[in-house]
Amino acid sequence: MLNNDLNRGNVLLLSQHDNKIGHASIVQAMKGSKGKRVGYIASEPDTNRIFYNACKTVYEKLGFEMNVYLELEDEYNEQSVEALFNCDAVHLSGGDTFRFLKGLQTRGLLHRISEFNLSGGIVIGVSAGAMIITPSIESAFLCGDKNTVNLTDFTGLHLVNLRFIPHVNKLIIDGALPNTWDCDVFFCSDYDGILIKNEQLQYIGEPIKINAESQGKFLLRELAI
């Protein structure tokens, strides 16, 4: 939930971080940080560090350091957790949204990430990681994600009061979103996102916004990149 504490860190939600807009957005989110250290939380095991190393390369090209990798399953360890929260920013990776959230719940890290952000730490979420930043990951169903881990509690970090739907390349919406979604919904292509900086919401690219009050019924919309 948004907090009026001026010490609160920036929050960035992206569909894709490895393109020009994603790079520029990361630099913008990191402005004002006292340091350049970014910790990485894997959505699921990355044994050969393929996704981690690719992400590390992006951050290093932008002038930041990424030397902390945290896995939530077999390779989980408390030393990595402590190193993570000594960083200036935390990157929540893409992947299996339901498995990712279950891992964060199991390890008791949702509260710690929230406290990290309220204390000035920057939180960057990509795809699944971005949905976890919101009040609930129910929007993952609209992306075709399957709940193969039998997760029953979909509550996210609630660092922002909105729903995020990534990877919208060309979408025609015809119908209604759940009336229980009492906040705005943003459909984002891989060149769109949302940045919360100094408690102000900034659009990245041209996300489609469905207002909370109009979710019961709305017109056809199309987004093409």
Q: What is the pLDDT of residues 110-122, one digit of tens each?
A: 999 999 999 999 9
Mean pLDDT is lowest, of 80-89, 145-154, 170-179, 203-212, for 170-179
**Tokens of residue 38, six digits:** 């970014």
| Domain encompassing residue 21 | 11-224
Total-model pTM: 0.89
CA distance 115 to 7: 11
Give the strand order in the sheet containing 162-165. 162-165, 184-187, 208-210
Q: Specify the long-range contacts of residues 216-220, CB closer than 8 Å, at least 24 apart.
A: 216/176, 216/179, 217/176, 218/173, 218/176, 220/172, 220/173, 220/174
Q: pLDDT confidence of 217, banded at 50, 70, 90?
A: very low
Is 74 a domain residue? yes
Is 3 a domain residue? no
CATH code of the domain in which 180 resides? 3.40.50.880
Is 26 a domain residue? yes
Q: What pLDDT sits at residue 199?
A: 85
User: What is the number of structural domains in the chain?
Assistant: 1
Q: pLDDT confidence of 4, banded at 50, 70, 90?
A: very low
**Tokens of residue 2, six digits:** 């948004």
Residue 11, φ and ψ in degrees, nearest 5: -130, 130
Q: Answer for the pair 12, 38: CB distance below 8 angstroms, yes or no.
A: no
Is 4 a domain residue? no
